[in-house]
């Protein structure tokens, strides 16, 4: 099974109600679940970016560890997901 399939398999079937009550952003929940499912095969860069997006690591430290391009890409991906979630919420009202 390809690694990408293993990491995304079943992600849409996860019940987010418990963590949503704690106001955890959905993207961070998915990243955490994917990291947990991936186990040790997840790259160090992915872990650094997850820490940065979770607020556990400041931007400059993340850039120093993985490079400016990867940090910018992670920020843009987060922005896109947040826009999609916002659109989804406005679409339901």
Going by pLDDT thresholds of 50, 70 and 90, the confidence category of residue 1 is: very low
Which residues 6+ apart lie within 8 Å of 71 measured at CB?
Answer: 49, 52, 59, 62, 63
Q: Which of 82, 74, 80 is nearest to 25 (CA)?
A: 82
- Tens digit of each residue's pLDDT (9 = 90 or more) over 45-74: 888 999 999 999 999 999 999 999 999 999
pLDDT of 25 > 80? The answer is no
Dihedral (CA of 82, 83, 84, 89) sign? positive
pLDDT of residue 70: 93
Instruction: Give the number of domains in the chain.
Output: 1
Nearest one of 30, 26, 72, 29 to 49, comparing CA atoms: 72
Range of the domain at 7: 3-92
Residue (of 56, 60, 58, 64) closest to 35 by Cα position:
56
Over residues 14-39, the mean pLDDT reads 67
Q: Which two tokens stand for residue 56?
A: 């556990």
């Amino acid at each position: 099974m390809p690694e990408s399939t293993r990491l995304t398999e079943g992600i849409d079937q996860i019940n987010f109600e418990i963590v949503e009550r704690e106001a955890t952003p959905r993207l961070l929940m998915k990243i955490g679940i994917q990291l947990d499912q991936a186990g040790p095969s997840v790259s160090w860069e992915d872990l650094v970016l997850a820490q940065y997006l979770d607020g556990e690591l400041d931007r400059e430290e993340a850039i120093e560890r993985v490079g400016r391009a990867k940090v910018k890409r992670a920020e843009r991906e987060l922005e896109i997901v947040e826009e999609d979630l916002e659109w989804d919420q406005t679409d339901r009202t």
